């Protein structure tokens, strides 16, 4: 999928290492969306970023992992619950060496590699991200 230039609010990334997914537990701050839930790398758009630039910047800020756009192998846009805001969802593969170099940023309580199946089944996972991960999984051999 190529971005059509339409306005969007942000982007999320399924960063996979083998069968595991890079996740973090959100801060439990009053007023924060999805407080204390399990989240994926990503966040809000800054300036005139493309969806790819947005998600890769967020990955670098949140986890200290730098990828290039050619590492993104899946892309889909979703309309959020407000019926207006668009969010982009990507997937990329991480090597064990890249995971070993993770430097967790100042957002969130902690991070982990979690089996993707466990994330999908976990009540603490953000519901729309579970759904997006299921869609991604349906469309490809996501373990490779």
Q: Which of 49, 33, 51 is nearest to 91 (CA)?
A: 51
Assigned fold of 10-135: Nucleoside Triphosphate Pyrophosphohydrolase (3.90.79)
- pLDDT value at 140 more than 90: no
Six-digit token pair at 16?
Answer: 């996979």
**pLDDT digits over 19-57, tens only?**
999 999 999 988 888 999 999 999 999 999 999 999 999
| pTM, 2 dp | 0.91
- pLDDT value at 1 more than 80: no
Residues 6 or more apart whose CB falls under 8 angstroms from that of 113 comprise 17, 20, 21, 22, 23, 99
Task: Output the DSSP codes for 65-104.
Answer: ----GGGEEEEEEEE-TTSS-EEEEEEEE--HHHHHT---
The 3-state DSSP class for residue 61 equals helix
Six-digit token pair at 77?
Answer: 């846009």
What whole-number distance in Å separates Cα of residue 72 and Cα of residue 87? 16
- pLDDT value at 104 more than 70: yes
Q: Using 50, 70 and 90 to split pLDDT, how confident is the model at 144?
A: very low
């Amino acid at each position: 999928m190529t971005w059509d230039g339409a306005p969007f609010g942000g982007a999320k990334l399924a960063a996979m290492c083998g069968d595991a997914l890079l996740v973090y537990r959100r801060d439990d701050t009053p007023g924060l969306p999805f407080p204390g839930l399990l989240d994926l790398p990503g966040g809000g758009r800054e300036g005139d970023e493309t969806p790819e630039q947005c998600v890769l910047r967020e990955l670098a800020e949140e986890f200290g992992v730098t990828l290039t756009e050619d590492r993104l192998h899946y892309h889909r846009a979703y309309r959020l619950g407000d019926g207006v805001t668009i969010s982009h969802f990507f997937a990329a593969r991480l090597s064990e060496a890249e995971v070993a170099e993770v430097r967790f940023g100042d957002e969130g309580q902690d991070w982990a590699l979690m089996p993707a199946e466990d994330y999908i089944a976990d009540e603490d996972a953000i519901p729309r991200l579970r759904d997006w991960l299921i869609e991604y999984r349906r469309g490809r051999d996501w373990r490779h």
